[in-house]
Amino acid sequence: MEVAGCWYVHLREGVRIPIPGARFMKVKEFARGRTRTTQRYGSWIELDRYTAHSDPDLLRWCRRNCNSELPSGTFRFSPREWDRRAEDFLSTPYFPEFDHPSPLVRELAEAELFRRIAEHQLHLNRDRRDELVRASSDEGHSRRELAELLGISFGRVQQLVHRDVSADSSP
C-alpha cells in the first residue's frame, strides 16, 4: 500500500508497517540487465521492445527520451542521454526484498520487515499482558503470585498495576 510516496504493509485497520527501503523504481533499476550497447553509426544504448512495453510508465518514458524507436520496437538512446535520464523515477514500486540485485540485501530487507512486524506484535502483546496483570490484581490475585507466574519482580508488577493506562508502555 502506497501513501504519499511511502510504502506500507497493511496489517489491519489503521495499522501500517513501513516497508524497509521501499520507494519508486528508477529506470536503470527496471532495465537492469535488459539493455545492450551497440555500435551502428555511433554508440547507442538499446532497450528491447518487450522490456519497454512491460510497463506503461516505462514505455512513455522511452518514447519521451529516446533518440529513435526502431521498427522492431527497440528504443535507442545516446549513452549521454541514457546516463542523464536513467535516474528518473517510474511509478512502479521498488521493494528491496524482491528487486535488489544482491541476494544478501534482499534477505536483509525481508528480515527487517519481519522484525518490524514482530516488534509491532510484541507491543500489542505487552499491552494485553499489562491489562491482564491489572485485571488479575483487581480480581484479588496477589502481586507476588503474579510476579512469580510472569518471572518478573514484585516491584514491576506493582508498576504495571498502578500504571496510567494512557501513558506510554514499557517492558
Q: Strand 6-12 relative to strand 23-26: parallel, antiparallel, unpaired?
A: unpaired
Domain contains 17:
no
Domain contains 100:
no
Identify the domain containing residue 112 by its residue range.
105-162
Domain contains 117:
yes
Domain contains 33:
yes
Pair 30, 83 in one domain:
yes
Pair 42, 72 in one domain:
yes
DSSP labels for 10-22?
Answer: EEETTEEEEPTT-
Pair 36, 79 in one domain:
yes
- Among residues 31, 52, 47, 54, the alpha carbon closest in space to that of 101 is found at 31
Cell of 113: 520487515
- Tens digits of residue pLDDT in 64-93: 999 999 999 999 999 999 999 999 999 888
In the chain, % of residues over pLDDT 70: 92
Distance CA 45, CA 48 (A): 10
Of 71, 94, 117, the last residue of a domain is 94
Domain contains 13:
no
Pair 63, 109 in one domain:
no
Pair 158, 110 in one domain:
yes
Domain contains 151:
yes
Of 65, 94, 123, the last residue of a domain is 94
Q: Write the CA distances from 120 to 94, 96, 115, integer angstroms.
A: 23, 21, 9
pLDDT for residue 164? 63
Along the chain (171 residues), what's the average pLDDT of each consecutive run of 10 residues? 74 83 91 89 91 93 92 93 93 90 94 93 91 92 91 90 64 51
pLDDT for residue 12? 78
Total tally of structural domains belonging to the chain: 2
Domain contains 9:
no
Domain contains 168:
no
Q: Strand 75-77 relative to strand 2-3: parallel, antiparallel, unpaired?
A: unpaired
Q: What is the phi-psi region of residue 57: left when phi exceeds 0, alpha when psi lies from -120 to 50, beta otherwise?
A: alpha
pLDDT for residue 3? 67
Helix 154-162 and helix 143-150, axial crossing angle in degrees, nearest 10: 110
Task: Tell the residue number behind the cell numbers 538499446, with chain if given.
Answer: 46
